[in-house]
Structure 1
């Protein structure tokens, strides 16, 4: 994207995004029927949003508990060295970790992990200790996705 340019988004763009968030597989013609546009016009809007980087990817959300991953851990991580790339490589390769955010405030990163058992969580945390210290909070219930 060119630096300094301002892009204007209107209510139609936001309506399209809302419908895609509900169902990323929805057909353009179905979106068009809901917002009173042709499928082709919707497709043009979606391509523009993709080209501008507003839409980064299409994905699915799975129910981790139904897949046997009933433990959700939020891990605040404190890197002990300046070797952040080694830590980043480790978490990027770890399947149990679904999100990693670099943060300000207390800690360096927040990780979201999903584990089948406490033993799996403990094994991951043992590996994590090679890179620094951590604090873990466990989810006791999901309120909103």
Structure 2
């Protein structure tokens, strides 16, 4: 079989991914019935899609507020150019951050983190980030309300 053609998704694969994206806990039997396939065929397709890298596994989405993390903050950060790689590694190890990105534009780093309250945020900045990282410029943006908080999903294609 042509390897390039083999990597394309057919309609059943796309439907399968949409179903799992909406509810990764769906039973194989439910998926099989809706796709008109056997349970073994669904298992095979799921394994094939995993191997090809279409999805990286299943995850649990936790509620930050239930763990006392009441403030979400987006940080835009610039550091000394000679310390960019080491700063990214250090920022990625801070448990307060859930995402750390190397970016182009006005700021070279964007981090997203969760904090208990304003005091926790201030302590993190003054005793950790601004002390341990050679920050040259930064801005923080407290998230007031989330309107969309998706990861990449099948609806985007």
Asked if TM exceeds 0.5, the reply is: yes
Q: Distance in 2 between matches of 1:144 and 1:88?
A: 26
Q: Distance in 1 between matches of 2:20 and 2:87?
A: 34
Aligned: 1:134 with 2:138: yes
1:16 positional shift: 1.5
CA contact (8 A) 1:20 1:26 kept: yes
Aligned to 2:154: none
CA contact (8 A) 1:29 1:40 kept: no
- 3-state SS, counterpart of residue 110 of structure 1: strand
CA contact (8 A) 1:12 1:35 kept: yes
Q: Distance in 2 between matches of 1:48 and 1:75?
A: 38
How many residue pairs were aligned? 142
Q: Which runs of 5+ in 2 are unaligned?
A: 150-157
1:27 positional shift: 2.3
Q: Distance in 1 between matches of 2:13 and 2:124?
A: 42
Give the TM-score, by structure 2 length: 0.80
1:111 positional shift: 0.9
Q: Distance in 1 between matches of 2:34 and 2:82?
A: 51
Q: Which has the larger radius of gyration?
A: 2
1:47 positional shift: 1.0
Aligned to 1:26: 26
Q: Distance in 2 between matches of 1:5 and 1:125?
A: 49
1:94-138, CA deviations, whole angstroms, 9 ceiling, x for partnerless residues? Answer: 111111122121211211101111122122223222231321111
CA RMSD in angstroms, aligned pairs only: 1.9
Q: Distance in 1 between matches of 2:34 and 2:148?
A: 25
Aligned to 2:152: none
